[in-house]
Amino acid sequence: MSASTAGGALNVVRGGAAREFTVTVRNGNIRVYGQVLVVFQMEIMVEGVSDGPAPPQNGFVLERRDPATGAWRTVELRVANDVQPHWLFTGGTPLARDAARTERYRIRAGATGPVGFTPLMIRLIDTGAPQNASYEQGGPARSSLPVSARHG
């Protein structure tokens, strides 16, 4: 799995335009994944200044472009300083052997919320893995992109 964006970082302005990025998921030839889900998390932004209490998700909105309709749909963005176990996620789509797909996402920062720097952590979760699977078995790949938020 890999994630990329123009310039290598997601630099957003509070209340400004969204920044797009892509996530490419690739499967080798070892096994078929029946329920693969791309999940996103960022740590609580503690650096910088805030305009008051941080809104949910630090004031960020994450969306995925639906390739069938072209519409942008909200995606869960978990804001926490720990890792959520793979068995708590649901959903996902199959990923065949030797398959690859690229998905488009965008993130924007609401008008209020903290400013500073944090990584956007991206994990590929096998939601069909048993609860006792190891961290690697439940989350076969991970990547990240740096995010900076500032006031306009």
Residue 142 to residue 119: CA distance in whole angstroms:
12
Percent of the chain clearing pLDDT 90 (strictly above): 58
> What percent of the chain is helix, strand and coil (3-state, nearest 5)?
10, 45, 45
Report whether pLDDT(50) > 60.
no
Q: Higher-confidence residue: 5 or 131? A: 5
Average pLDDT value for residue range 24-28: 91
pTM for this predicted structure: 0.88
Counting residues of the chain whose pLDDT is more than 70, the rounded percentage is 88
Question: Is pLDDT at 135 greater than 80 in this prediction?
Answer: no
Instruction: Give CA–CA dist 44/5, Å, rounded.
Output: 22
Region label for 87, one of left (φ > 0), alpha (ψ between -120 and 50) or beta (otherwise): alpha
Residues 33 and 95 sit within 8 Å (Cβ to Cβ):
yes
Average pLDDT over the chain reads 87
**pLDDT class of 128 with cuts at 50, 70, 90:** confident
Confidence label for 56 from pLDDT (cuts 50, 70 and 90): low
What is the structure's pLDDT at 49? 46
Predicted pLDDT of residue 109 = 94
What pLDDT was estimated at residue 149? 93
Question: Rounded to whole angstroms, how far apart are CA atoms 63 and 44?
Answer: 19
